[in-house]
Amino acid sequence: MVHLVTEVDMDRREELGERLGATNTAASPALAALRPTGVLGEEPLHIWALDGTGALAGGVVAHTSHGWLELDLLWVDAGQRGAGLGGRIVAEAERIAVERGCAWSKVWTWDFQAPGFYIKQGYAVQCVLEDHPPGIRDFFLTKRLGQTKRLGQGEQRARGVTGPASPTA
């Protein structure tokens, strides 16, 4: 008989991930072909922007995996916003990701954060989750790396993104 256990167990989590990876590799010729290339491994990517005193002015916590760059956390100090620092940080993360073999980038951002900022960096909205959490729209955006076109406010409005282009970056 099988019984359910509700507890955080990192050893079982690791085993579950290994078993799922083996099952997926057996089921997908594409995944099986990628496994020996190393592109499926996850590698952290952190970039810190420091001011003249060494204090944190901004940064990104990201990782590369499966040929993708995933931007997990991006923040720019209020006093630095609007000066291009967020764009510089993202561009550097994208450059490093391309060196690591990534062809795509992805990011989730809330409606009050920075969907307009990412669209200006060349990202495209793939989906919007309503009420995630309640009262907030959650944007999922992607970008084919190597693209350099940045969108103006008119193009952003045409894509349904309103509000400031970059409240956090």
pLDDT for 147 equals 56
Q: Tell me the average pLDDT across 67-95.
A: 97
How high does pLDDT run on average in the chain?
Answer: 88
164 within 8 A of 79, measured Cβ to Cβ: no
Q: Strand 104-110's sheet: what is its strand order?
A: 43-50, 56-65, 68-76, 104-110, 138-144, 124-129
Q: Are strands 43-50 and 68-76 parallel, antiparallel or unpaired?
A: unpaired
* Three-state DSSP class for residue 160: coil
Range with lowest mean pLDDT among 30-34, 60-64, 88-92, 119-123: 30-34
d(CA 43, CA 63): 5
pLDDT band at 157, cuts 50/70/90?
very low
pLDDT tens-digit readout, 126-135: 999 999 999 9
Q: Tell me the average pLDDT across 158-166.
A: 44
d(CA 45, CA 25): 26
pLDDT for 114 equals 95
Burial classification of residue 68, based on how many CB atoms lie within 10 Å of its CB (0-12 exposed, 13-18 middle, 19 or more buried): middle
Tell me yes or no: is domain 39-158 CATH 3.40.109.10. Answer: no
pLDDT for 38 equals 76
Which amino acid, one-letter code, is at 156? Q
pLDDT tens-digit readout, 96-123: 999 999 999 999 999 999 999 999 999 9
∠ CA 60-56-71 to the nearest 5 degrees? 5
Helix (H) or strand (E) holding 91: helix 85-99
Q: Tell me the average pLDDT across 5-21.
A: 95
pLDDT tens-digit readout, 22-40: 999 999 999 898 888 877 8
∠ CA 26-30-33 to the nearest 5 degrees? 80
